[in-house]
Amino acid sequence: MTTLPEFKQAPHKLLVIPGPIEVSDEVLYANARPSNSHVAPDFVQVFGDCIRRFVISTAGQPFLISGSGTLGWDQVAANLIQPGENALVLHTGYFGDSFQDCLETYGAKVDQIKADIGGVVSQEAIESALKSKKYRLLTFTHVDTSTAVLSDAKAIAETVRRVSPDTLVILDGVCSVASEELRMDAWGIDVVLTASQKGLGVPPGLSILVASPKAIKARVFESRTAPVGSYYASWKKWLPIMKAYESGKAAYFATPPVNLVYAYHASLTRITKEAPSLEERFKLHRAASKEVKDTAAELGLKQLPLDPAYAATGMTALYFPNGVAATDVLPKLSANGIIAAGGLHAAIKEKYFRIGHMGITVVDGQRGDIQVITKALKDVFAKL
């Protein structure tokens, strides 16, 4: 890679919604590289690197497809479950309902276990559901962006493996990958799906999914009797493409988002090859999260997750104090230099707000982003 020229993105307010997040100059410059052919040797090399070098799994098969994170749900629903089969959705916020909706679109029969707002689903409830019926797959949202609730991926996978080993474990990691600890291979997770614009630090537009080769082989190619329910999201179409680029050859099914793949490559290179290590990266996220959450507590703000043990480290969701509205707070935070997000969970939408602290905002301490966030919180809430 050539040295980064003097490219600096335009001055702007700090973007601390829980995605899209702040993106480095280096990644943005890669997004502005001259147009290139999707079959050019240098692109083949870069795209191949992106497939070979995925951060959260060494055994898994990545699928990198032009699309929003949402497209990951279609990939799961269209490929891994057949019409009439059962799926179990653990609900910890907005995204559980949407994943259910997607699964049902492709004909799955969905049961949901719904946590209280701010809560998680207990292992007992999961165990009991798994014993009541044969489920082809179970899905959960690792961090639900609407509530900042972090589910215990390791414990969920353990419960499924123990009680119903044939049930696939599907982790929606859109808001967790590269900011929350996640060991796909070691914990026995079959699919992790995510997107480019959160912990991975790239503009939105890339649906990123990793599936265990065993799950793909068994469920898509061997035991599946119904045809795959989607064309654009079909792994039968995409697997040969990923395999080709992985082995250094071009192949065509649909044109990949060339510039965004270069941008993703720039970010991935930084995450996987350079300091900080992945361990250090998670540690920095925990430390930044503590700083924001401690500041909020000092200001008397209550977190949405009911128990600190399952609050995300990549984002914070905070209730407004009594009598204070979103329209009071968000514009003031903006006047203090940070763009935060309003509520998303329909039942309490107007009652809380959200701050993301992922990627370079956390990892590149020299930026001072966390200090900007805590200062803005203090300045705004001390005066309310």
Annotated binding site for substrate: 354
- Interior/surface letters 192-203, b for 16+ CB within 10 angstroms, e for the rest: bbbbbbbbbbbb
Told to check if 93 binds a copy of itself by CB under 8 A, we report no
Question: Least Å distance between CB 103 and a copy of itself?
Answer: 9
Residue 118 in 3-state DSSP?
Answer: coil
Distance separating the N- and C-terminal Cα atoms of the chain: 50
Q: CA nearest 194: which of 185, 182, 186, 343?
A: 182
Span interacting with a copy of itself, options 65-73, 130-138, 176-184, 320-328, rule CB under 8 A: 65-73
Told to check if 254 binds a copy of itself by CB under 8 A, we report yes
Told to check if 258 binds a copy of itself by CB under 8 A, we report yes
Out of 97, 111, 154, 204, the residue judged to bind a copy of itself by CB under 8 A: 204
Out of 134, 252, 277, 325, the residue judged to bind a copy of itself by CB under 8 A: 252
Question: Which helix (H) or strand (E) element contains residue 241?
Answer: helix 235-246
Told to check if 225 binds a copy of itself by CB under 8 A, we report no
Residue 354 in 3-state DSSP?
Answer: strand
Question: Least Å distance between CB 13 and a copy of itself?
Answer: 9
The residue count for binding a copy of itself (CB under 8 A) is: 64
Span interacting with a copy of itself, options 32-40, 127-135, 307-315, 321-329, rule CB under 8 A: 32-40
Out of 112, 123, 230, 336, the residue judged to bind a copy of itself by CB under 8 A: 230
Question: Is the Cβ–Cβ distance between 113 and 139 less than 8 Å?
Answer: no
Dihedral of the alpha carbons of 310, 104, 75, 145, in degrees to the nearest 10: -30
The alpha carbons of the chain give a radius of gyration, in whole angstroms, of 21
Told to check if 17 binds a copy of itself by CB under 8 A, we report yes
Out of 20, 93, 96, 314, the residue judged to bind a copy of itself by CB under 8 A: 20
Q: Which residues pair with 89 in a beta bridge?
A: 112, 139
Told to check if 257 binds a copy of itself by CB under 8 A, we report yes
Task: State the pairing for strand pair 168-172/137-141.
Answer: parallel
Span interacting with a copy of itself, options 49-57, 182-190, 202-210, 241-249, rule CB under 8 A: 202-210
Out of 229, 305, 314, 343, the residue judged to bind a copy of itself by CB under 8 A: 229
**What is the sign, positive or negative, of the torsion defined by CA atoms of 242, 247, 248, 251?**
negative
Q: CA nearest 46: which of 203, 207, 263?
A: 263
Residues 330-359 that bind a copy of itself (CB under 8 A): 339, 341, 344
Question: Is the Cβ–Cβ distance between 91 and 112 less than 8 Å?
Answer: yes
**Cβ neighbours of residue 257 closer than 8 Å, sequence gap 6 or more:** 66, 205, 206
Residues 134-193 that bind a copy of itself (CB under 8 A): none
Out of 37, 45, 223, 247, the residue judged to bind a copy of itself by CB under 8 A: 37
Told to check if 199 binds a copy of itself by CB under 8 A, we report no
- Residues that bind a copy of itself in the complex, under the rule CB under 8 A: 2, 5, 7, 9-10, 12, 15, 17, 19-23, 28-29, 31-40, 65-71, 73-74, 77, 101-102, 105-106, 195, 197, 203-205, 227-234, 252-260, 339, 341, 344
